[in-house]
Amino acid sequence: GDSVTQMEGPVTLSEEAFLTINCTYTATGYPSLFWYVQYPGEGLQLLLKATKADDKGSNKGFEATYRKETTSFHLEKGSVQVSDSAVYFCALSDTNDYKLSFGAGTTVTVRA
Amino acid sequence: GAGVSQSPSNKVTEKGKDVELRCDPISGHTALYWYRQSLGQGLEFLIYFQGNSAPDKSGLPSDRFSAERTGGSVSTLTIQRTQQEDSAVYLCASSLEGSIVYEQYFGPGTRLTVT
């Protein structure tokens, strides 16, 4: 079945540091890939997505590229801020599907 | 506009009691989803509604779990004879239609604690 593996946290960074969260997946079809973010006290929000190989999703300074050859969708941000402190979830939905399969989540804390 | 709302935000119940969790999706969204976020299992899909029907109940963990949706809007997730392993945050999401093409918008969740 479909599954998502993402790097375990927690991750603690200083402001303006570079952030990478690794995500790899297994899927039977040709999935769409997502990063969701959960800020403290808030619900899950879609951060970015990519629907085909070599697509790059981007939003709020975050980027992730759909790499079919390595079945990966790593999240990156060049200069994090305190406001980026949150839990980040990698997720996929397989071809013609509707439900999301999530990774375990990575807690990121950014210190001033 | 209004987002997905869920009630209650927190629920503490004794083992063996029944609980009902409510979800109000975004108006006009025909698809509704329930997910569960627990320490041991992460974030997992429970059930999907398209309109009032549930074509996919594959994620419901046992027959103690049921859900319904009425009027193509509000949904209720019912857990009968609650067990401690049911303790989790129950998330509801809705989307315009039942396809991953359409973004799923999540509610804030109901935190269920079974004592």
Does B59 reach chain A within 8 Å, measured CB to CB?
yes
C-alpha distance from A95 to closest chain B C-alpha (Å): 9
| Residue B41 confidence (pLDDT) | 77
| Residue B1 confidence (pLDDT) | 57
Counting Cβ atoms within 10 Å, is residue B2 exposed (0-12), middle (13-18) or buried (19+)? exposed
B50-99 tens-digit pLDDT: 999 998 999 999 999 999 999 989 999 999 999 999 999 999 999 998 88
Record: contact B42-A104, CB cut-off 8 A: yes
| Residue A94 confidence (pLDDT) | 85
- Determine what percent of chain B is predicted with pLDDT higher than 70: 99
Does B53 reach chain A within 8 Å, measured CB to CB?
no
**Tokens read off for B70:** 């009425």
Kindly report the CA angle at B21 between B18 and B22, in degrees rounded to 5? 145
Q: Which of A4, A6, A100 to mutate to test the interface with B (most CBs of B within 10 A)?
A: A100
- Mean pLDDT score, A51-65: 96
| Residue A111 confidence (pLDDT) | 97
C-alpha distance from B52 to closest chain A C-alpha (Å): 16
Cis, peptide link before residue A31, omega less than 30° from 0:
no
DSSP string, A4-71: EEE----EEEETT--EEE-EEEE-SS--EEEEEEE-TTS-EEEEEEE-STT-EEEETTEEEE-BTTTT
